[in-house]
Amino acid sequence: MTRPLVVLIALSMLFTACSKEPAPPVKNPASPVGNPSTSADPEARVKEVIMRYNQLLAYGYQNLNMNPLQEVASVRQAEKAYHHMAALGEGGVRMLSHLKQIDFEKMDLSDRKAVVRTREVWDFSYSDIRTEKRKDDVKDFLYLMEYTLVDDNGRWLIQETAVIPGR
The answer to whether the beta carbons of residues 57 and 84 sit under 8 Å apart is: no
Residues 50, 22: Cα–Cα separation, whole Å: 20
Would you state the pLDDT for residue 38? 58
What average pLDDT does the segment 115-130 reach?
A: 97
What average pLDDT does the segment 111-121 reach?
A: 97
What average pLDDT does the segment 31-48 reach?
A: 71
What confidence category does residue 167 fall into, taking pLDDT thresholds of 50, 70 and 90?
low
Would you state the pLDDT for residue 40? 78
SS3 assignment, position 39: coil
Amino acid at 112: R
What H or E segment, with its residue span, contains residue 145?
strand 134-152
Query: Domain limits at 53?
Result: 3-163
Number of domains in the chain: 1
Is residue 21 over pLDDT 90? Answer: no
Q: What is the CATH number of the domain that holds 71?
A: 3.10.450.50
What confidence category does residue 39 fall into, taking pLDDT thresholds of 50, 70 and 90?
confident
pLDDT > 90 in the chain, percent: 71
